[in-house]
Chains A and B, each alone.
Chain A
């Protein structure tokens, strides 16, 4: 029930195209859904996050769409650039009183943007 399933595993997109990454979850207690970007040899960095009371959030070229009834959320990268080539992870958090903020991660999507 703690699992977050992410697809596709890898994605190739032309410069200027749209990258779409999807995640699905089972645990309805999840209340916070961040996306992280990771470059080779680096730690993950927060890209954008959403809460389930919002259906969409946009920051620059990055948009999260959230479908609470379907228990799915997705990341859209508009006007993809070669510098966006990285691995993207979705994650989710279930509130636990006094037990912190641990994240459950999807398996990751490796995005390659071709010039």
Chain B
């Protein structure tokens, strides 16, 4: 059973470009969380999605950031007009349900560097 897949693993963008980060949850998991990790810091929650629905985006910046989890295909975190402060590791995690007893399984992350 493959784990959570994320791609690309490393992404370099120039200021003003767009970044698209993909996350394929574990098989059978329909709940996806995105977290951001700045250098030398802990992970910060960004957004929680179920298939075709954004449930909680309280941690996502209001501008330039968007997320989706379509019926078919991976979840996408999209950052428009990237700035240097967007440089970070972005992790997605998945769980089978939203029950508190469910473990969140993390992917290997996408390391975004903005030049």
B49-79 vs A, Cβ < 8 Å mask (1 yes, 0 no) = 0000001100100000000000000000000
In this complex, how many residues of chain A approach chain B with their Cβ under 8 Å: the count is 27
In this complex, how many residues of chain B approach chain A with their Cβ under 8 Å: the count is 30
* B24 adjacent to chain A (CB < 8 Å): no
* B100 adjacent to chain A (CB < 8 Å): yes
Q: How many A-B residue pairs have CB under 8 A?
A: 72
Contacting residues of chain B (66-114) with chain A, CB-CB under 8 angstroms = 91, 93, 95, 98-109
State A46–B93 Cα separation when bound (angstroms). Answer: 11
State A46–B95 Cα separation when bound (angstroms). Answer: 12
Whether the Cβ atoms of B98 and A108 lie closer than 8 Å is no
* A76 adjacent to chain B (CB < 8 Å): no
B-side interface residues toward A, CB under 8 Å? Answer: 4, 6, 31, 33, 35, 40-45, 48, 55-56, 59, 91, 93, 95, 98-109
